[in-house]
């Protein structure tokens, strides 16, 4: 199962009534073409978050894969609806309470991929039509949907209860959300487990920087994070190093990086006089393989804070 975010705007209402999403195969400017071509990647059972004017307003399940079809709209005078396009049939579940992206953006921003993100860094939606939605972002959106639409928390007692919501949809909506969340979490858990199992022996079960070997403190640290990686890269042991939890936090947040030679680079945010406290120094070099190189370079280019 994959997830996507579709940017619908004015077309939402009619597409919902028709139970579809539809896009032209090409737009006149040729911009954001990837976002239309992505329609081809949709398979039966995939989940789609519907974004309209700043809010996630619905979650749907694909009933078909992508079909080539002309515009199903009955509305007139819409030039952009004329040519052949891509169509996916969906079962829409409209939310009683939409999720406002801007108001939840602190939680969403760290989960956005660097490439093909549905939202910009200022919380506005991007211009294209269909965007991939990685598992971590999907889980966050499902949590936000659940908090507003399914669960009620008694803040005095901190008790959680299923809310009295969702009119006629209740029978299918709640299990669909739960099933989606469970499937996504399982995929992440199994992927991370496989990654860790492949990575630890390569680095001798020790932090490559300080040598700590206590398993509870060791992290299988990604160079290219889950959200930015392909399924292959997510389990590729070359896409990471073994670090203790402190060094993992430094690496993950871009305070340290490695170049193609395996040399350590330290952010100027860390004062030189503190290097000893952090157990790092700029002359450190780790025994990288050829396969580590592209991942180290990606990390340094995209995450390192100079
Ligand atoms: Zn360490």
- Measured in Å, residue 215 CA sits from the centre of ligand 1 at 12
pLDDT given at position 28: 64
The third-level CATH classification (topology) of the domain covering 3-133 is: ph1033 like fold (3.10.590)
- How many angstroms separate the CA atoms of 150 and 164, rounded? 8
- Measured in Å, residue 284 CA sits from the centre of ligand 1 at 12
Tell me which residue has tokens 């073409």.
Answer: 33
Rounded to a whole number, what is the largest CA-CA distance in the chain? 70
- Measured in Å, residue 94 CA sits from the centre of ligand 1 at 47
The CA radius of gyration of the chain, in Å to the nearest whole number, is: 22
Cβ of 190: how many Cβ atoms within 10 Å? 11
- Measured in Å, residue 188 CA sits from the centre of ligand 1 at 24
pLDDT given at position 160: 67
pLDDT given at position 161: 66
- Measured in Å, residue 197 CA sits from the centre of ligand 1 at 19
- Measured in Å, residue 68 CA sits from the centre of ligand 1 at 53
- Measured in Å, residue 290 CA sits from the centre of ligand 1 at 23
Ranges of each domain in the chain: 3-133, 198-302
Phi, psi dihedral angles at 123 (to 5 degrees): 80, 0
- Measured in Å, residue 213 CA sits from the centre of ligand 1 at 9
- Measured in Å, residue 22 CA sits from the centre of ligand 1 at 50
pLDDT given at position 240: 97
Burial of 217 (0-12, 13-18, 19+ CB in 10 A): middle
- Measured in Å, residue 220 CA sits from the centre of ligand 1 at 12
pLDDT given at position 156: 73
- Measured in Å, residue 263 CA sits from the centre of ligand 1 at 16
pLDDT given at position 115: 95
Of the candidates 279, 287, 227, which has an alpha carbon nearest to the alpha carbon of residue 250? 279
| Ligand 1 (single-atom ion) residues, CB below 5 Å | 207, 209-210, 244, 247
Q: State pTM to two decimals.
A: 0.91
- Measured in Å, residue 216 CA sits from the centre of ligand 1 at 12
- Measured in Å, residue 207 CA sits from the centre of ligand 1 at 5
pLDDT given at position 44: 97
pLDDT tens for each residue of the chain, 306 residues long: 999 999 998 899 999 999 999 988 876 666 668 888 899 999 999 999 999 999 999 999 999 999 988 888 766 445 555 568 899 999 999 998 999 999 999 999 999 999 999 999 999 999 899 999 999 999 999 999 998 888 776 677 767 666 555 444 567 888 899 999 999 999 999 999 999 999 999 999 999 999 999 999 999 999 999 999 999 999 999 999 999 999 999 999 999 999 999 999 999 999 999 999 999 999 999 999 999 999 999 999 999 999
């Amino acid at each position: 199962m994959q997830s996507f975010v579709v940017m619908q705007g004015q077309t939402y209402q009619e597409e919902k009534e028709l139970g579809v999403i539809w896009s032209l195969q090409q737009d006149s400017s040729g911009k954001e073409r990837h976002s239309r071509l992505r329609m081809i990647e949709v398979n039966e059972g995939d989940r789609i978050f519907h974004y309209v004017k700043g809010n996630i307003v619905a979650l749907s399940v694909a009933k078909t894969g992508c079909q080539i079809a002309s515009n199903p709209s009955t509305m007139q005078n819409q030039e952009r609806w004329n040519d052949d396009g891509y169509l996916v049939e969906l079962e829409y579940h409209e939310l009683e309470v939409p999720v406002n992206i801007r108001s939840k953006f602190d939680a969403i921003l760290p989960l956005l991929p660097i490439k093909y993100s549905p939202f910009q860094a200022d919380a506005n939606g991007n211009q294209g039509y269909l965007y991939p939605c990685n598992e971590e972002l999907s889980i966050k959106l499902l949590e936000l949907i659940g908090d507003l639409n399914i669960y009620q928390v008694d803040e005095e007692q901190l008790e959680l209860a299923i809310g009295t919501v969702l009119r006629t949809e209740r029978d299918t909506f709640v299990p669909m959300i739960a099933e989606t969340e469970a499937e996504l979490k399982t995929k992440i858990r199994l992927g991370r487990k496989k990654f860790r199992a492949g990575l630890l022996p390569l680095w001798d079960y020790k932090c490559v920087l300080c040598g700590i070997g206590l398993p509870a403190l060791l992290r299988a640290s990604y160079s290219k994070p889950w959200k930015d990686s392909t399924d292959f890269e997510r389990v590729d042991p070359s896409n990471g190093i073994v670090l203790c939890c402190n060094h993992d936090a430094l690496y993950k947040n871009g305070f340290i990086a490695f170049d193609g030679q395996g040399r350590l680079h330290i952010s100027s945010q860390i004062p030189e006089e503190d290097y000893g406290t952090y157990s790092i120094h700029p002359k450190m070099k780790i025994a990288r393989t050829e396969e580590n190189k592209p991942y180290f370079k990606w990390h340094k280019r995209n995450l390192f804070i100079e």
